[in-house]
Amino acid sequence: QAQLQESGPGLVKPSQTLSLTCTVSGDSMTRGSYYWNWIRQSPGRGLEWLAYIYYSGSTYYNPSLESRLSISADTSKNRFSLTLTSLSAADTAVYYCARAPSTGSSPGAFDLWGNGTLVTVSS
Amino acid sequence: EIVLTQSPATLSLSPGQRATLSCRASQSVGRDFLAWFQQRPGQPPRLLIHGTSTRATGIPDRFSGDGSVTEFTLTISRLEPEDFAVYFCYQYGFTPPRSFGGGTTVEMK
């Protein structure tokens, strides 16, 4: 059974860069049926979809954050990563990675989630 | 951006009662592209319904979804103790970005 596990720093200083990794187990990212996503959740902003990467390498970002976001994948290690630059307190949130099945031309709804990792932006 | 507005914010009900949750979209959302999630405290969201009315794997049939265009509903026919949680709608159509509603809390009366 597939599982997702996020990893990354719990505390980051303002203006710094956040790097998170999601390790996929029990499934292969290159199977071609899924999009691999990052989503965050905070009391102030609710649930917010951030970005996805497809097994082919194609990516798509939330336009409101696109200038600060980068998503990449290391298929040899079956994991994908998110980078978010120029952090502020508003980026404090629980960050989730999630899998979405392909609907043919775009991602469907998220059918598998990691447990999430809390990231606090504070000096 | 499509804004999803959920109502009510909180629903206070007893086990065995029927719950009806609403999700209103600021623009038309295709029936194929509306989903519902359940989130219990300390857990990630869990997919309940996709494509407006298709239950995800393992979801009991007391959960049902319906709607079209800009009005969608999630119905829980008879609340079980484990159903008291927060519910989110989510649209994943072609108009970026994909977006979530603000959530409805179903609490025990």
pLDDT mean over A104-109: 86
d(CA A88, CA A92): 8
Check CB contact under 8 Å for B45 and A110: yes
What is the number of residues in chain B?
Answer: 109
Q: How far is CA B76 from CA A80, A88, B10, in A?
A: 36, 39, 15
Q: Which residues of A touch B92 (CB under 8 A)?
A: 100, 106-109
pLDDT mean over B12-23: 98
Whole-number pLDDT of residue B88? 98
Whole-number pLDDT of residue A55? 84
pLDDT at residue A103 tops 90: no
Where would I find the beta strands (DSSP E) of chain A? 3-7, 11-12, 18-25, 34-42, 46-54, 59-61, 69-74, 79-84, 93-101, 112-113, 117-121
The residue ranking higher by pLDDT, A33 or A24, is A24
Task: Give the model confidence (pLDDT) of A62-91 as tens digits.
Answer: 999 999 999 999 999 999 999 999 999 999
The residue ranking higher by pLDDT, B75 or B30, is B75
Whole-number pLDDT of residue A104? 78
Check CB contact under 8 Å for B92 and A64: no
Chain A nearest CA to B43, separation (Å)? 6
Whole-number pLDDT of residue B95? 64
Whole-number pLDDT of residue A66? 94
For an interface test with B, give the residue of A95, A113, A117 to mutate (most B CBs within 10 A): A113
Check CB contact under 8 Å for B96 and A116: no
pLDDT band at residue B31, thresholds of 50, 70 and 90?
confident
Whole-number pLDDT of residue B22? 98
A115: nearest CA partner in chain B = B44
With the C-alpha atoms ordered A72, B32, B10, A45, is the resulting torsion angle positive or negative?
positive
pLDDT band at residue A106, thresholds of 50, 70 and 90?
confident
pLDDT mean over A37-49: 95
Beta-carbon-side half-sphere exposure of residue B12 (alpha carbons within 13 Å): 1
Q: Which residues of A touch B45 (CB under 8 A)?
A: 47, 110, 113
Q: B84 with B108: CB under 8 angstroms?
A: yes
Nearest to B100 among A47, A111, A116 (CB): A47
pLDDT at residue A61 tops 80: yes
A105: nearest CA partner in chain B = B94
Whole-number pLDDT of residue A11? 96
Chain A nearest CA to B36, separation (Å)? 9
Tell me if chain A has a CB within 8 Å of the CB of B97: yes
For chain B positions 29-68, those within 8 Å of chain A (CB to CB) are 32, 35, 37, 43-47, 50, 56-57
Task: Give the model confidence (pLDDT) of B51-105 as tens digits.
Answer: 999 999 999 999 999 999 999 999 999 999 999 999 999 999 876 689 999 999 9
